[in-house]
Amino acid sequence: MLLKSCCIYSIGIFSILILIAGISLVLSNVFPNFLHSMVKKEMVLKNDTEAFRVWENPPPPVYMQFYFFNLTNPLEVMDGDRPAVVEIGPYTYREYRPMEQVNFLDNGTKVAAVNTKTYIFQPNMSRGPESDLIRTVNIPAMTVMERFKDQPFMANLISAYMRSSDEGLFTTRTAGELLWGYEDALLKALKVLQPDLDDVFGLFYKANATNDGNYVFFTGQQNYKDFARVDTWNGERSVNWWTTDECNMINGTNGASFHPVINKNETLYMFSSDLCRSLYALYEEDVSVKGIPGYRFVPPSKVFANLTVNPDNAGFCVPAGNCLGSGLLNVSGCKQGAPIIMSSPHFYQADEKYVQDIFGMKPNKEQHQTTIDINPLTGIVLQAAKRLQVNVYVEQIPTFSQTGNVRTVVFPVLYLNESVVIDDESVKKLQVVVAEANIVVNIPFMLIGLGILLGGVFMLLMCRQKVPESTAAERQPLLRS
Ligand SMILES: *[C@@H]1O[C@H](CO)[C@@H](O)[C@H](O)[C@H]1NC(C)=O
Ligand SMILES: *[C@@H]1O[C@H](CO)[C@@H](O)[C@H](O)[C@H]1NC(C)=O
Ligand SMILES: *[C@@H]1O[C@H](CO)[C@@H](O)[C@H](O)[C@H]1NC(C)=O
Ligand SMILES: *[C@@H]1O[C@H](CO)[C@@H](O)[C@H](O)[C@H]1NC(C)=O
Ligand SMILES: *[C@@H]1O[C@H](CO)[C@@H](O)[C@H](O)[C@H]1NC(C)=O
Ligand SMILES: *[C@@H]1O[C@H](CO)[C@@H](O)[C@H](O)[C@H]1NC(C)=O
Ligand SMILES: *[C@@H]1O[C@H](CO)[C@@H](O)[C@H](O)[C@H]1NC(C)=O
Ligand SMILES: *[C@@H]1O[C@H](CO)[C@@H](O)[C@H](O)[C@H]1NC(C)=O
């Protein structure tokens, strides 16, 4: 009898202890903090660590896909009609982007490297060979005409040369030539006057098997938030350029966040050399990539908005005060003066005017937005797609008859989708981490549950226990008082 009630009371005490332990673990955040510090410890670039191997040679395949716009009505456009285009693509390249010439600096707090990108054509993932013909704007000619439009003597000379060699506002070239370069007759002729001029033109000319300069990254040894952040680029200190394959920069407060690395109110910065600037992305929704939970970040429409909506974009009104509408960036300044305007594919999120100006534009969020999906627990990029369109500013230039009666348009040449999806091997590793994290984080709640369960058992046993008469009689006065 004594043994039995002793046992029952132990259950009661035990349930209370477990409850207290569970609740204090929840309140003190021990397990999430423990996870946090585990992740932090992993996020450092050191020789022979997993994070370093992944950074040096990212395992998931990166694909660069190009979609061209083939012009169908050049003669009508010369007479002032709306251009009509047909989207042609994809032309897919596997992008290899290892870090090379890796060199640790400053006691392992920084690491220097170059990022060499190589593009290998993937016929099986492409609609046709690189030799497919595309009719589009003659970009070298448009550039030269813009450049000399206010110099009548030169304009006359160039115009005469163009007439004699039958060069016009539009040209038909292969996809491969437009991307990787071709010798342009007009540039070659001008080279006689200007020997330092490069007579090869291509939108990605010299981009293959080359690096874009010397980077110095933080290793994250001092602060995990600096993991893989760019310190300097070609010797210049860079603010806001964090990149692990152009993807992620983590900024914001981590405070009392449940998730160790990323939370929903953080801002991701991406550096894009195509745009000559850094962009940022904000949380949009929860997603799942190959079964792994993620947060989707997208650039807010404000990034490309016109001045009324986002005064920060004043820097892209060049010359000062000369602003294009929403959704367009004039990057002429960083493309050797070529009249190149960047936008989202099909002018997604741009001023409706630009969509209307070209027959064949069908902007659509799903296909044309830039997205980055990140696993919040680890900060690992699950999936990303950078989507950008290259356009040329076309206008009538009185000194060049080659421009005919063309109307002023932002003419789409191609758009690209540079995308990556986490590889299956990394998914398996992440699944284990996510499952472990779920268990670890839930241990305090399991303890509380167990405490409540045992408490219930205790009460049940107490009620069912027969109370001896004598004891009951003794207790009565106590109860009354
Ligand atoms: C990493 O360590 C190996 C051998 O321990 C060495 O050969 C290699 O140069 C080191 N790499 C760097 C980038 O320091
Ligand atoms: C590297 O560490 C040594 C010894 O800890 C220290 O004397 C030196 O100043 C450090 N160098 C740098 C660049 O931090
Ligand atoms: C890029 O360079 C590599 C190696 O130099 C070559 O194999 C590949 O065909 C090139 N890609 C393009 C698109 O020219
Ligand atoms: C693009 O248009 C030109 C001119 O109409 C045509 O010759 C060419 O075959 C088209 N390209 C493709 C890939 O369909
Ligand atoms: C991080 O964001 C804060 C404001 O939220 C900003 O002041 C700070 O400059 C940002 N840090 C970097 C490196 O961009
Ligand atoms: C800027 O964009 C907003 C919203 O799209 C529009 O209402 C406004 O008229 C635009 N302003 C200019 C100057 O284009
Ligand atoms: C784009 O910027 C250049 C200067 O970088 C300027 O000359 C040109 O007029 C601008 N184009 C448009 C369409 O505003
Ligand atoms: C890239 O984007 C294009 C356009 O939205 C889409 O058709 C294509 O499937 C995407 N490619 C990948 C690999 O996701």
Kindly state whether residue 477 falls inside one of the protein's structural domains: no
Kindly state whether residue 469 falls inside one of the protein's structural domains: no
DSSP 311: G
* Mean pLDDT per 10-residue interval, the chain, length 481 residues: 78 88 83 74 78 83 95 96 96 93 89 91 97 97 93 93 94 97 94 88 90 83 74 62 30 26 69 61 91 89 70 66 78 81 92 94 94 83 90 95 95 94 87 82 86 89 70 51 46
Q: What is the pLDDT of residue 257?
A: 22
CB-based contact 228:242 (threshold 8 Å): yes
Q: Rounded to a whole number, what is the largest CA-CA distance in the chain?
A: 124
- Give the distance (Å) from ligand 2 centre to CA of residue 295: 39
Number of domains forming the structure of the chain? 1
Q: How far apart are CA 351 and CA 355, in angstroms?
A: 7
Q: Please, is 141 exposed, middle or buried when counting C-beta atoms within 10 Å of its C-beta (0-12, 13-18, 19+)?
A: buried
Q: What is the pLDDT of residue 275?
A: 61
Q: What is the pLDDT of residue 361?
A: 97
Query: Is the C-beta atom of 47 inside 6 A of ligand 1?
Result: yes
pLDDT in tens, 399-443: 999 999 999 999 999 999 999 898 898 888 888 888 888 888 888
- What sign does the dihedral 184-213-382-390 (CA atoms) show? negative
Q: What is the pLDDT of residue 468?
A: 59
Kindly state whether residue 49 falls inside one of the protein's structural domains: no
- Give the distance (Å) from ligand 5 centre to CA of residue 252: 7
Sequence letter at residue 40: K
- Give the distance (Å) from ligand 6 centre to CA of residue 306: 6
Kindly state whether residue 16 falls inside one of the protein's structural domains: no
Burial 255-292 (b: 16+ CB within 10 A, else e): eebebbbbbeebebbbbbebbebbbbbbbbeeeebbeb
Give nearest CA residue, ligand 4 atom 5.
72
Kindly state whether residue 475 falls inside one of the protein's structural domains: no
Best of 107, 111, 231 to mutate for ligand 2, by most ligand atoms within 8 A of CB? 107
Give nearest CA residue, ligand 2 atom 7.
107
Query: Is the C-beta atom of 211 inside 6 A of ligand 5?
Result: no
Q: Which atom of ligand 6 approaches the CA of 306 most closely?
A: 1
Give nearest CA residue, ligand 6 atom 11.
308
Kindly state whether residue 283 falls inside one of the protein's structural domains: yes
Q: How far apart are CA 252 and CA 230, in angstroms?
A: 17
Query: Is the C-beta atom of 286 inside 6 A of ligand 2?
Result: no
Query: Is the C-beta atom of 106 inside 6 A of ligand 2?
Result: yes
Query: Is the C-beta atom of 37 inside 6 A of ligand 1?
Result: no
The DSSP line for 177-219 is: HHHH-EE-HHHHHHHTT-TT---EE-TTTT-TTEEEEEEEEE-
Strand-pairing partners, residue 277, are 272
Q: Please, is 209 exposed, middle or buried when counting C-beta atoms within 10 Å of its C-beta (0-12, 13-18, 19+)?
A: exposed
- Give the distance (Å) from ligand 1 centre to CA of residue 58: 18
Domain that holds residue 290: 60-422
Q: What is the pLDDT of residue 252?
A: 27
Kindly state whether residue 437 falls inside one of the protein's structural domains: no
DSSP 333: G
Kindly state whether residue 436 falls inside one of the protein's structural domains: no
- Give the distance (Å) from ligand 6 centre to CA of residue 199: 40
- Give the distance (Å) from ligand 7 centre to CA of residue 40: 45
Q: What is the pLDDT of residue 476?
A: 54
- Give the distance (Å) from ligand 2 centre to CA of residue 4: 67
Query: Is the C-beta atom of 393 inside 6 A of ligand 7?
Result: yes
Q: What is the pLDDT of residue 393?
A: 95
Three-point CA angle 154, 158, 163, nearest 5°: 150
